């Protein structure tokens, strides 16, 4: 899999928030096989020599693991906020990758697709590699590609909901419409079977956080997701049979004894 | 001069971003800055003057999804 000229073996991208401890986060990343992890920016407390607390420990941990870091603009509700945050992230994390979130609705954390397209255009023109968090809307996808996005990240379901793929039909249409653009399901997955379903639809990768971090055993769940993704991808490459409405006997009828 | 730093009012003697970071004991190498919603690159902090009531944001890496 290739995202913005970076070749990756893993199709799992992992969020780094909400883990019980940095040690469990590190073990979960290892168990998942993820090569890309997401990160964010938050206010520094300052004073006493600038104690970074958990954030500082987290960042040194991620750096030491040699991972690709995908900073996000989580919590941004306007184009200006998102663009400024992206610039701050580029300097702080030393990468032009940005997971672009422009949130439009607080209850569902649904992206504001109008602001998203506008921010994507500004950032792509400024040399960013934009990973847009979007709905599965085909027209929005076209606008994002026209703006310069070379990866699309439709949601599966609202962030943190664990509901899986709410609209498989729309996601299948998106895949069919953009056969050559890497597509990543971002958000809403709760179970490895959801990730497997995304892979079976032909999606290139999934990005998840809460499903692993909030599991009773995040390390085992990380491994389970990796296995689900591997199984789903193998199934996609194996060209699944067509579903049908009526039964079709798998055992040959010819040669059956007449015993009635 | 009173300015807002990460949402809290501070009375500072310094008049540019670089010196405010020093005065408030931030590690300037571990943060990114913005003034009134505009990004201030690290190389420009010494030239970025601050005025009464300005809003300085000082951000660091954090876990995220």
Please enumerate residues of B whose Cβ is less than 8 A from a Cβ of A.
Answer: 5-7, 24-27, 30-34, 37-39, 41-42, 57-65
- Looking at this predicted complex, what is its ipTM? 0.96
**First vs last C-alpha separation in chain B:** 37
Q: Whole-angstrom Cα distance, residue B5 to residue A46?
A: 10
Interface test with B, best of A15, A43, A74 (most B CBs within 10 A): A43
Distance (Å) of CA A89 to CA A70, A117, A173, B58, B60: 9, 19, 33, 12, 9
Quick: pLDDT tens for A15-39: 999 999 999 999 999 999 999 999 9
Compute φ and ψ for A3, nearest 5 degrees: -125, 115
Asked if A145 and A178 touch (Cβ cutoff 8 Å), the reply is yes
Say how far apart CA A258 and CA A164 lie, in whole Å.
48
Q: Is the pTM of this model over 0.90?
A: yes
Residue A147 has pLDDT above 70, yes or no: yes
Q: Give CA–CA dist A126/A87, Å, rounded.
A: 10
CA distances from A161 to A21, A28, A40, A153, A167 (A): 22, 20, 20, 17, 14
Q: Please state the φ and ψ torsions of residue A112, each to the nearest 5 degrees.
A: -85, 100
Does the beta-carbon distance from A44 to B38 stay under 8 Å?
no
B32: chain A residues, CB-CB within 8 Å: 41, 88-89, 91-92
- pLDDT single digits (tens) A198-235: 999 999 999 999 999 999 999 999 999 999 999 999 99
Q: How many residues make up chain A in this entry?
A: 260
């Amino acid at each position: 899999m290739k995202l913005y000229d970076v070749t990756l073996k893993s199709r799992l991208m992992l969020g780094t928030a909400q883990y019980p401890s940095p040690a469990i986060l590190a073990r979960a990343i290892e168990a998942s096989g993820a090569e890309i992890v997401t990160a964010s920016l938050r206010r520094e407390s300052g004073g006493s020599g600038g104690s970074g607390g958990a954030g500082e420990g987290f960042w040194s941990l991620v750096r030491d693991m040699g991972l690709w870091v995908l900073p996000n603009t989580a919590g941004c509700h306007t184009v200006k906020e998102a663009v400024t945050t992206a610039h701050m992230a580029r300097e702080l994390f030393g990468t032009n990758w940005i997971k672009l979130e422009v949130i439009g609705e607080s209850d569902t954390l649904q992206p504001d697709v109008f602001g998203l397209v506008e921010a994507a255009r500004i950032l792509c023109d400024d040399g960013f590699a934009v990973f847009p968090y979007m709905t599965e809307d085909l027209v929005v996808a076209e606008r994002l590609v026209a703006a310069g996005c070379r990866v699309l990240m439709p949601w599966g379901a609202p962030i943190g909901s664990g509901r899986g793929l709410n609209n498989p039909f729309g996601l299948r249409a998106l895949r069919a419409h953009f056969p050559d653009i890497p597509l990543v399901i971002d958000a809403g997955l709760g179970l490895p079977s959801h990730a497997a379903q995304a892979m079976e639809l032909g999606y290139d990768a999934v990005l998840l956080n809460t499903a692993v971090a909030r599991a009773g055993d995040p390390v085992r769940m990380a491994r389970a997701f990796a296995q689900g993704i591997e199984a789903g991808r193998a199934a996609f490459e194996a060209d699944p049979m067509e579903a049908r409405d009526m039964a079709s006997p798998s055992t040959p009828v010819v040669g059956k004894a007449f015993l009635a | 001069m009173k300015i807002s730093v990460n949402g809290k009012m501070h009375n500072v003697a310094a008049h540019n971003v670089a010196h405010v970071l020093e005065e408030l004991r931030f590690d300037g190498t571990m943060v990114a800055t913005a003034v009134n919603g505009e990004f201030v690159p690290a190389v420009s902090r010494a030239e970025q003057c601050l005025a009464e009531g300005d809003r300085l944001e000082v951000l660091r890496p954090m876990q995220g999804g």
